[in-house]
Amino acid sequence: MSESSSSSAGETGRITIDLKALAANWQSLANMVSPAECAAVVKADAYGLGARHVVPALAQAGCTSFFVATFNEAKEIKPLVGTGRIFILDGLLPGSASAVADLGVIPVLSTLDEIGEWQYEAKARSQKLPSAIHVDSGLHRLGLAPGDVARLAQDQDVFADLHIDLVMSHLASADVPDAPENQAQLTAFGISRSLLPDAPASLAASDGLMLGSAFHFDVVRPGYALYGGQAFQGAETPVKPVVEVTTKILQVRSLVAGDKVGYSATFTAPHDMTIAILAAGYADGIPRSASAPTGKPAGVVAIQGHLAPLVGRVSMDLIAVDVSHVPTHLLTRGADVELIGPTCTLDMVGQAANTIGYEILTRLSPRFERIYLDKGDNA
Ligand SMILES: *Cc1c(COP(=O)(O)O)cnc(C)c1O
């Protein structure tokens, strides 16, 4: 996947996005949750991977329901989904109902005010409008509080004007299989559903769908897992890596014990060693918090599968790594180095930077060249 033979002259970093792996991941999750429907969450430009490429690949694989965060994101992917449905997780901002209805997408309504505005729009159009209702089951982020669900349930008029395509909620601790919140939220979701008219339901995202079929309901909403993320702590999610990020060695140099490396001289060579300077820094999405020493395991890169830990501070365009244990013949100027890939997984990279793989993905910078591996390409 990371052959450098076709590199353009002067290219340093490269982000390779394997659309075949993405489609296979969607299919694998769809098979796992069947007969529930597997939707795709493509907010934040498909987690930074490029909705323009990701959405058509998912649609071609058979995905027909897409979730975005904002109206502008919905507008961007609307031409790419064919007859597929688009849900806007942020719902309706004041005054946006008419534009949302014109676009033909489905707002996820989290407050009685939004429901009122959407109902008003439906009446004005003499048309039943599609909608999703978000109920809070314990995350206390978006969603109707239990009291509001009860109030809504009394208002039969609403259900004459709105078609409820989905009743949904979102889990707080789905990555931890035995977290008590999971069962509590499942119960709370059931109570809310029982008050509302019968409608398809959705509770699980990437980790929730790993909690078993009781959490699947009618639609699951994975994002991260589609992109190869393994956030679930109970078992391996049946998905493959989608993203590989590589950069190149600019210089290899020898240090003697006592030499310091990088800004603020935070690293002192404990013994003679060899380091490589790589063309990647925080401007490329390598968090500065991956610098060593961190108190946590420092970030690592890999050269042909050999791990090399970061030394000193991550700077804007450069990092230094300890390559003392990497075979010398691999340490050539211009050689490819894996920043994210099969050896340095997205989740490892996130952990080493005191964050999560999600944040790493959504912050990959535009400076690196992007390559999309499609059906026709050989990987
Ligand atoms: C982002 C989001 C998802 C997708 O979450 P992943 O962990 O990436 O699968 C699903 N539902 C809601 C409400 C979200 O905000």
Active-site entry in 120, 123, 128, 263: 263
Indicate left, alpha or beta for 346 from its phi (over 0: left) and psi (-120 to 50: alpha). Answer: alpha
- Predicted TM-score (pTM) of the model is 0.95
Atom of ligand 1 at shortest range from CA of 221? 10
Provide the residue count of the chain. Answer: 379
Decide: 300 in ligand 1 pocket, CB within 6 A: no
pLDDT of residue 226: 98
The closest residue, in CA terms, to atom 3 on ligand 1 is 205
pLDDT of residue 1: 42
- Catalytic annotation present for 227: no
pLDDT of residue 28: 98
The closest residue, in CA terms, to atom 15 on ligand 1 is 89
pLDDT averaged over consecutive 10-residue blocks of the chain (379 residues)? 55 96 98 98 98 98 98 98 98 97 98 98 97 98 97 93 98 98 98 97 98 98 98 97 98 97 93 97 93 74 97 96 97 97 94 94 94 71
Which residue, 185, 91, 106, 202, is CA-closest to 146? Answer: 185
The DSSP secondary structure of 236-253, one letter per residue, reads --S----EEEEEEEEEEE
User: Backbone phi, then psi, for 375, in 5-degree steps?
Assistant: -55, -40
Q: How far is the CA of 226 from the centre of ligand 1 (A)?
A: 11
Decide: 206 in ligand 1 pocket, CB within 6 A: yes
**What's at 314, amino acid-wise?**
V
Q: How far is the CA of 172 from the centre of ligand 1 (A)?
A: 11
pLDDT of residue 291: 87
